Structure formats: C-alpha cells, structure tokens
Amino acid sequence: MPDPMKIRATVVGDSTEVRVLMSHEMETGQRKDAQGNVIPAWFIQNVVVAHKGRPVLNAQWGTAIAKNPFLSFKFKGGAKGDKIEITWVDNRGEKRTDETAIG
Amino acid sequence: MQNMRRKVLKAGGGVALYALLVAAGWLKPGDAAAQSWNKSAFEAKTLDEALKVFGGGSSAQSKDIVFVSTPDIAENGAVVPIGITSSIPKTEAIAILIEKNPNPLAAIFEIPPGTEPAIGTRVKMAQTSNVYALVKADGKYYVASKEIKVTLGGCGG
Amino acid sequence: MRIHRRGALPVLALSVMVAAAALAQGNAVDEIAKYRAALQDGNPAELWEARGADLWKQKRGPKNASLEQCDLGLGPGVVKGAYAQLPRYFSDADRVMDLESRLVWCMVTLQGFSQADAVKRPFGGPDQKSDMEAYVAYVTSESRGARMNVSLDHPKEREAYRLGEKMFHFRGGTHDFACATCHGEDAKRIRLQDLPNLTQTAGAQKAYTTWPAYRVSQGELRSFQWRLNDCFRQQRFPELIFTSDASIALTMFLARNANGAVFDAPAIKR
Amino acid sequence: MQRLPIARIAAAGATVAAAVLATILGCATAPSDDDINAKAAAVLRASFKEQGQAKLDRLAQDDTQKTCSQYSGKAVPKDAAERIEKANLASIKWPADGNYLGDWKNGERIAQEGRGMQYSDDPKGPVGANCYACHRLSPQELSFGTIGPSLYQFGKVRGYTDEVRKYAYGKIYNAEAYSACTNMPRFGHSGILSQQQIRDVVALLMDPESPVNK
C-alpha cells in the first residue's frame, strides 16, 4: 500500500491553490543495481485532481518526474471546506487516492 | 542546432498531431474516466522524435509562455524545479520536454476551462539541456525554451 | 605558494581574469540560491513526518506497545521541543544520548525489541524505507521553532562535548581529513556548496538547525546520524557505528555550539 | 596552509571561551586534556567498524596526522612544522626519468573524479583527486570549491619551467612537504594516485595547451 499524499489546498483571492507531495520512487528504468541488473521502470503515469467531483487537472507523466513528486497549480473558484480529491496511477497499475478539504 | 530544431518543430503535421492528441486525451479535458498515457510520445528517444510523434506541429516560438521559479542552474539534476505559465488565451495543455534526457517528454498537463494555465513540478535532468514548454491553445501550438545547467555538487563521491 | 609571480603584466592579466571569474561565479551562486529557494515550496520531508507520526502511535514489538510514553528528556510522552535539548544525560541509561540512541532505548525498553533489531535499519535506501528516519522526521518536526538549548550541566555532558571537539579535529584515513578540514574556516565551499564553519557559533547554528533534511540527491530524508556517517565515509574513514559514543559526542559538540538558534528542520537540501 | 589572522584570533577566542567555561564549571574535577585525548582515541576506535576497503587501520595516525590534529584550528609551532615538512619531503619519490609532464586531458578527468578509497567505492573502480572540490582550474568548470587557492593559469603565470613542473609534482605527491598541516591530501605518499596520474595532473596545470592556461 503506497503512503498517503500530502495535499494542501488554500483559497488565494478568487482561486484555489493546490500543492501536492506524493510518495513514489519514480524509478527511470535507466539505473542499474549493485549487481549490474537494470532496475525496472516504476513511475506514476496519470494524475487526476478533482474539485467536488469535477476534474480540474489531468496529467500524464513520464519517468523524468522527480522522486516523491511535487505538483502545484491553481483553479478558479473553490470555497473553504470543498473537497479536493487526487488520484494517481502508476505503470504497475498501483493506485492511490487521497482527499482534503480546502483550507 | 537551434535552426534545425525550429524546422523540426514546424515540420510535424497538424493532422497527425491532432489524432495523437485525441488519443492522448488532450482534447477531452475533464474526462477523468478516460485515463490514457501517450506511450509513443513518452518513449521517444530524441526531442525531434517526441515532437514528431506528439506534434508540436506548426508550433511558434511564443513570449507568452514564461518559465517561473525555474533556475538557470540546478544544484542537483535529480530534482529540478520547473514552473510554466502561459498567458495565451484558451490554453488547453502544457507539456515539458527535456532535450537531452533519454526520453525527452517529461509530462503533459491538461488544463480544463477554469484552471489557470500555470503549473509547477520537479523533473530529473540527466545533464545540462534545453527545456521546452509546449503549449496547445485554441488548437494551435506554441513553444518556449530555456537552458538549465546541471552542476556536479558536493564531495563528488 | 612559494613560486614568485613574474612581472606586473601577468599579475594584472590574472587579476582581470579573477574579476571575470568572480562575476561568472557570482551568477552561478545567485542561480544556485534561486534553485534552493524554488525547492522550499514543497518539502517531501513532510511525507516522512506524517509516516513517523503515524508509526509513533502504532503498537509494535514483542511488548505490543507504542512509543507514546518514550521519555525524550522532557518526561514520558513529551515530544514537543524535546529535540532542541538533545543530546543530554539520561540517568535511567546512565549515558549521554542523542535522539536516535534514545529512540533505540525506547524501542528496547518500551516495545521489547532486541538492541540488534532496533538498530537494524538506521537509514532508508531504494529497496526499503527506514522507520528510524520516519521517527526522526516526526520528533524533530515537533521542535521546529524551538530554541536550541543543550545543557552541559552534567559531568558526562561536559565530557561528551570535549570528546566531540577532539574528534572534530582528528585527522586520519588515506586523505588526512578531519571534520575541521572542511568545516574549520569561514566562507569556504566544496564545488558550489557552502561549507559552514562548525567551530563558530554562527556556522554551527546554521548547519545544526537545518538537519535532518530531505536530500534531493538521494530522495530520502536524512537524520543527523546519517549526516555524520556520510561525512566519515567521504573522509575515507571506516564506517561510523550507528549511535556509537563517538557519534553522540560529535553531535553534542555541534548541537551545543548551535545553542540559542531557532531550530528549523526537517529542511530540504541538495 | 596560511591562516588569516582573523581565523587565528577567532580560534584563540574559542579556546579562551572553553577555558573560561571549564573554570566556571569547576575545572578542579574536570579531566585533563591528556585524559580527554586518550579517551577520545579509545572511543573512536570503538565507534567505527571496517567496511569495504576501509579497514580500522585508517584510524591509526602517523606523526603528521597526530601533530596536525593537535594544532587543528591553531598555529602550528615552528619546530613541529619544520619536522613535518622535512619528513614528508624525504618521502617523495621523484620520477626516475625526470619527466613530470603527462596528458592534461587525463589530468582533467582525474581532477573531476571524486571517487576512490571510500568504503562505498569499488576497489577496482576509478580513483580521482577531486581537485575541483577545492580548487578552480579550467575556467569552463563553474562548479569548483574554495578550500584551496585558484589554480587557473597556474603554468602561464609561473612560467613553463622545469622548476615549476617539479614543484607541482612534489606538491601533489606530498603537500605536507611544502606546507605543514595543509588541508590537501598527500596523493602520492598515501597511494591515492600513481606516478602517471600525478604527471597527468601536473600536465593539467603546466601544459600550455591545457584549458587551465588558456
């Protein structure tokens, strides 16, 4: 079971700013272990952020996103207490969904 | 080099690009159920190949795409902060490409209406390279680039 | 340098070159500062803090107990501000302990782990996470904003400080390095990284209050024990034993030198 | 190594502060400096374990290391400095053919390489001198340290003479022969670099074609 995300969503003016940290190795598939074997690629491929069920960001990621990924963006609207839900899916099909209330 | 790249940027066909973007889900922002991942674009080995597969069709250099909170020099290539803001009306998507990475395409962000065309993330860079911000807006393609130097840090071992 | 410079011209040329280099360097240093500033916005150390806070409450070990009653020096169960007063002398163990050695003590006495099990995975790697580093992230985060206040009241605390100072200046290994080689003077750098002068208050304060840290080069949160361990690796010494007396003495020397500063970690570093 | 007067004063200040502290805390019962030195050595021995190529003998100090530890952060007394420089100068093995100059391109690789002799390093893997960690050399490399002086235009400024080449070779082989208690490792004396590798680094400093002299 992957570790939970840290999500911060705050109202800034007439927008909501969302900042997320995810716990993931983001292994490139380019590295070798001590025995010289290639460490297989293992990385988040899709991220969806929804505000009250409506998607506000869709992302596709490759192996170049840094380990323990960080993402920030803003969307118009959003009020204190609204639910923000984030889901990621990696190339092994592993999935994690976390939610927070806009603060 | 710079000229060659521009040519490639212009050479890609708009029609092929459109088809690929539909496949990639670019043109269906907000459709969370239709999760997809543009395998051929992400697995392309060169910038030209990535752009060809994935379009960038008749993309024009644009001053309306700005790198924010993006340093000229990275103290470590494992984590390089990248911020991209587009002030081009009807921006629908932003992609990050790193020319000298083994797979240049790093990320595609679909921007549904109501979401500001400004994203921040962190990428890995294998070495000093040009980084491209490719923006799709109102069906057209725009690009901006910036060189980021990757330094060797610390005690070196 | 004992070789004499010849004539005025090369010296002039040299000074022009040095000025140009200083300019290029200045830009590089400014840009590195921008890089560091851009990283502050989201510190993955928070992922470790959250995991540590969760683990802290979990019942674990042969005694099926949590660490909630662990005494970090301010009484059982008090975590807030405890790290800013470590290392310190603990009468129950009759030993000066830093955070990690105290956590091992609590894992053994409260949870019933063997000493060997408690120190089995001090640092995380690509294959496995370290619970110890998660505990360290959580406990240290509870001292963020507290003022460093390390005591030398007990004779064993004073002894640890003096031993730590000696070890700081101990030169050895194939390269003749001591801690002082890199950290004994002001305003020096390795490559582009500033080296704090740990023998002076300002340098010790700046360095000590920003560990532990999420190291972007490793994608891991690193504890102060790790910091010492990896310095010695690069000094070409053998491996520093986790929570050994030397590691605690050195920590005492550095933590005490940082007294008065506001603790501000877990931080994020290169 | 030349210490700035300010550093010396600050170091002296720290010593005074320590003495005052000891007095306040009741130095009558405090262990002597010799006691602490003996205990520190014992604690160090018990606090390390051998790992990879780094065995516990790396904690055994020679006279140079021991004396320089004693005077770390302070001025080294003149007689001690002379003793160290003399012994280390005598240890230098000069190339039998009198050729000090190798290949500067290989010298640049050695100057960039930070690995070698750490317990985490493959004993058969590359061993470098990591010159850039402490020195400025080729102007193209912006990531350089400042623990040592800039060596940019080393040969150009000093002249491409045999005397300077020999000095550079000796300094890299055993820096303690020229400046007691320097921060610089003794690359030849301690078996870090081979004779040919030292020649290559000398070439980086002394070859007119080296980027260092451009």
A54-73 CB burial, b ≥16 within 10 A, e <16: ebbbbbbbbbbbbbbbbbbb
Q: How far is CA B108 from the centre of its chain?
A: 7
State whether the Cα torsion B107-B112-B113-B116 is positive or negative.
negative
The nearest alpha carbon in chain D to B152 belongs to D143
Query: Is residue C14 one of the residues assigned to a domain?
Result: no
Q: What global pTM score does this model have?
A: 0.86
Q: How many domains does chain C have?
A: 1
DSSP C48-67: HHHHHHHHHHS-BTTTTB-S
- Which run of H or E residues covers position D8? helix D5-24
Given a contact cutoff of 8 angstroms between Cβ atoms, the answer to whether B22 and B31 are in contact is: no
pLDDT in tens, D61-80: 999 999 999 999 999 999 99
- Between residues B129 and C5, which one has the greater pLDDT? B129
Q: Concatenate the DSSP letters of all residues of A38-86 into one string.
A: BPPPB-EEEEEEEETTEEEEEEEE-TTBPSS-EEEEEEE---TT-EEEE
Q: What CATH number should be reported for the domain holding residue C258?
A: 1.10.760.10
Evaluate whether residue C28 is within a structural domain.
Answer: no
Mean pLDDT of C233-258: 98
Q: 3-class SS at C244?
A: coil
Distance CA C170, CA D41 (A): 9
The answer to whether A32 touches A49, Cβ cutoff 8 Å, is no
- Structural domain D104-213, CATH architecture: Orthogonal Bundle (1.10)
What helix, strand, coil percent values describe chain D, rounded to 5? Answer: 50, 0, 50
Q: Is the pLDDT of residue B119 over 90?
A: yes
> How distant, in Å, are the alpha carbons of A8, C65, C88, C105, C164 from that of C93?
42, 20, 11, 8, 20
Q: Which residues from chain B sit within 8 angstroms of residue A71, using beta carbons?
A: 119-121
Of chain B, the percentage scoring pLDDT greater than 70 comes to 71
Best mutation target, D134, D135, D142, D143, to test chain B (most B CBs within 10 A): D143
pLDDT in tens, C192-212: 889 999 999 999 999 999 999
Chain D interface includes B89 (CB < 8 A): no
Is A6-27+36-101 a CATH 1.25.40.10 domain?
A: no
A38 has a pLDDT exceeding 70: yes
Among candidates B76, B151, B155 on the partner chain, residue whose Cβ is nearest the Cβ of C234:
B155
Chain B contact set for A24 (CB, 8 A): none
Is the distance from CB of C64 to CB of C107 less than 8 angstroms?
Answer: no
**For position B25, what pLDDT does the model report?**
46
Q: Is C231 a catalytic residue?
A: yes
> Can you list the alpha helix ranges (DSSP code H) found in chain B?
2-11, 14-24, 39-42, 47-54
Using alpha carbons, select from C179, C154, C160, C183 the residue that is nearest to residue C169.
C179
CA-CA-CA-CA torsion sign (C101, C106, C112, C117): negative
**Neighbouring C-alpha atoms within 13 Å toward the C-beta of C185:** 22
> Residue D170 CB: number of other CB atoms within 10 A?
20
Confidence at residue B66, expressed as pLDDT on a 0 to 100 scale: 97
CB contact under 8 A, B107 and A66: no
Contacts of B100 (CB under 8 A, 6+ apart): B125, B126, B127, B128, B129, B130
In 3D space, the residue among C82, C92, C36 whose CA is nearest the CA of residue C270 turns out to be C36
Say which residue the tokens 């799709």 belong to: B136
Helix axes of C131-141 and C45-57: crossing angle, nearest 10 degrees: 100
Residue A2: its pLDDT value, please?
87
Residue C244 within a domain: yes
Cα–Cα distance measured from residue B141 to residue B55, given in angstroms and rounded to the nearest whole number: 9
Beta bridge partners of A74: A17
Cβ atoms of C253 and C161 within 8 Å: the answer is yes
ipTM above 0.90, yes or no: no
- Closest-CA distance, C248 to chain D, in angstroms, reads 10
- Residue A66 to residue B42, Cβ atoms within 8 A: no
Q: Chain D contact for C96, CB < 8 A?
A: no
Q: Looking at chain B, which subunits does it touch, using at least 3 CB pairs closer than 8 Å as the criterion?
A: A, C, D
D136 shares contact with chain C (CB less than 8 Å): yes
Closest Cβ opposite residue B153 in set C37, C193, C218:
C193
In this structure, the number of other CB atoms found within 10 A of the CB of residue D202 comes to 30
For chain C, positions 99-128, list CB contacts with chain D under 8 A: none
Instruction: Specify whether the CB–CB gap between D163 and D171 falls below 8 A.
Output: no
Express each pLDDT in C37-92 by its tens digit.
Answer: 999 889 999 999 999 999 999 999 999 999 999 999 999 999 999 999 999 999 99
Percent of chain D with pLDDT over 90: 83
Q: How confident is the model at residue A32 (pLDDT cuts 50, 70, 90)?
A: confident
Q: Which residues contact A13 (CB under 8 A, 6 or more apart)?
A: none
Write down the residue that tokens 């639910």 correspond to.
A83
Task: Output the six-digit token pair for B120.
Answer: 């921040």
C82: domain range?
A: 42-269
pLDDT of residue B157: 62
| C166 touching chain D per CB within 8 A | yes
CB contact under 8 A, B152 and D143: yes
Give CA angle at C220 (C218, C221), nearest 5°.
Answer: 135
- Alpha carbons C115 and D210: distance in angstroms, whole number: 56
pLDDT value at D89 more than 50 = yes
Residue A38 touches partner C, C-beta closer than 8 Å: no
- Does C167 sit within 8 Å of D117, measured CB to CB? no
* Least confident range of C223-237, D4-18, D134-148, D197-211: D4-18
Quick one: closest CA in A to C39, which residue? A70
B29, closest residue in chain A (CA to CA): A58
Among residues D169, D171, D165, the alpha carbon closest in space to that of D149 is found at D171
Instruction: Please give the average per-residue pLDDT across D122-144, as a whole number.
Output: 95
Residue C147 pairs with which residues in a beta bridge? C262
Burial D122-150 (b: 16+ CB within 10 A, else e): eeeeebbbbbbbbbbbbbebbbbbbbbeb
Question: Which segment of C141-145, D10-14, D99-103 scores lowest on mean pLDDT?
Answer: D10-14
Residue A21: list chain C partners with CB under 8 A: 42-44, 46-47
Burial C258-270 (b: 16+ CB within 10 A, else e): bbebebebbbbbb
How does residue C131 score in pLDDT terms, banded at 50, 70 and 90? very high
pLDDT tens sequence across B77-114:
999 999 999 999 999 999 999 999 999 999 999 999 99
Using CB atoms, list chains with 3+ pairs below 8 Å to chain A: B, C
Closest-CA distance, A77 to chain B, in angstroms, reads 8
Rounded to whole angstroms, the Cα distance separating C32 from C39 reads 11
Q: What domains, with CATH codes, occur in chain B? A: 2-35 (no CATH), 39-150 (2.60.40.2470)
Q: What percent of chain D has pLDDT over 70?
A: 86
Asked whether residue D23 carries a pLDDT value surpassing 80, the answer given is no
Whole-number pLDDT of residue B58: 64
**B108 Cβ partners below 8 Å, 6+ apart?**
A59, A60, B24, B26, B38, B41, B93, B94, B95
Q: Residues C2-23, buried b or exposed e (16+ Cβ, 10 A)?
A: eeeeeeeeeeeebeebeeebee
Q: Is C55 on the interface with A (CB under 8 A)?
A: no
Mean pLDDT of D162-187: 98
Q: Are D192 and D116 in contact (CB under 8 A)?
A: yes
